[in-house]
Amino acid sequence: MTRLKTSDISGITSRLDAYDRYLQAAAHQSLAGVACHAWGVDPEAVASRIKRFAVYVIPVTAGQGIITRFSETVGGILQFLGCDAIVTEQTDASGLAQAFERKADAIMMADDYRFVGINLHTREVVDNAVATGRAFAAVLDLMAGGIKDQTVLVMGCGPVGEAGAGMLLEKNARVGLYDTNYDAARSLEKRLDKASGEAKIEVHDDFTSQCRGYSHILEATPQGNTIPDEWITDRMRVAAPGVPLGLSGRGADLLQGRLIHDKLELGVAAMAVKLIISSGQGD
């Protein structure tokens, strides 16, 4: 599991406007719009509730401890979306108590294992890995002008890849699965087959001979440089939630305008939207 470093997230808040514009140019939707697409909800329904939705972000010292500016960056993304977002002054149990005492609608907090949002009215728990996988599948769908009947290579069969692949199948794409751990790819295939009921999935065991030629890639691995530069074509579109980015600098340049990669923004935005649309939030 990738642990973000302060260097990964520094500058995210100040670049949100530019990233929003980049998303609108590449995927024809804003950050909020992509997040809504991830759950199939109407952006206007979210916009009308967002300002009154108080999300408290609680820094957590457990395990490896605080990542400098992690909570502030999450809070900055939520504020950019229009949420009433606050980072608690206190950490851990004290921060959680503060959120409840001040009548938060939702909280967000992360330890070494999970980054979650919880709607305090409905008790719905939204996992960042699931939200991120769906948000990047959503952006691929938007970039492609509809991913239905297109083939997509999902690289990395962890929780983010799983959620992304699940959404792509919901959108009636054909999915190729690859993981350096072949058993992980096979067991994901079984879970997805059970959920989707139709076999639109192919599992690959040899990357070099079987994975070239895909025009759509969801790169959800924790490795860098996974997509070879020479595989990149003018038609290729890549949605890459994996950290570090699975492309060389040259590869990323070649894909300019057809590559979406971020380390926190889309996942946090999709978490926020899911928390807001969670029913019975006391409004």
Sites of contact with ligand 2YH (CB under 6 A): 1-4, 59-60, 66-67, 70-71, 110-112, 114-115, 128-129
Give the residue with the Cβ less far from ligand 2YH, 26 or 218: 218
CA dihedral 23, 26, 27, 32 (to 10 degrees): 10
Strands 106-110 and 115-119, sheet pairing? antiparallel
Structure tokens at 142: 């938007």
Residue closer to ligand 2YH by CB (options 69, 121) is: 69
3-state secondary structure at position 276? helix
Write down the least CB distance from residue 132 to ligand 2YH, Å: 7
- Minimum gap (Å) between residue 218 Cβ and ligand 2YH: 16
Q: Which is nearer to ligand 2YH, 111 or 193 (CB)?
A: 111
CB of 67 to ligand 2YH, least distance (A): 4
Give the nearest distance from C-beta 159 to ligand 2YH in angstroms. 8
Q: Specify the 3-state DSSP secondary structure of 189.
A: helix
Smallest separation (angstroms) from ligand 2YH to the CB of 110: 4
- In angstroms, the CA 106 to CA 50 distance is 12
Residue type, 219: E
Q: Is the CB of 4 or the CB of 184 nearer to ligand 2YH?
A: 4
Instruction: Return the closest-CA partner of residue 23 out of 273, 249, 271, 257.
Output: 257
Strand order in the sheet with 106-110: 84-87, 54-57, 106-110, 115-119, 125-127
Give whichever of 92 and 124 is closer to ligand 2YH, judged by the CB atom. Answer: 92
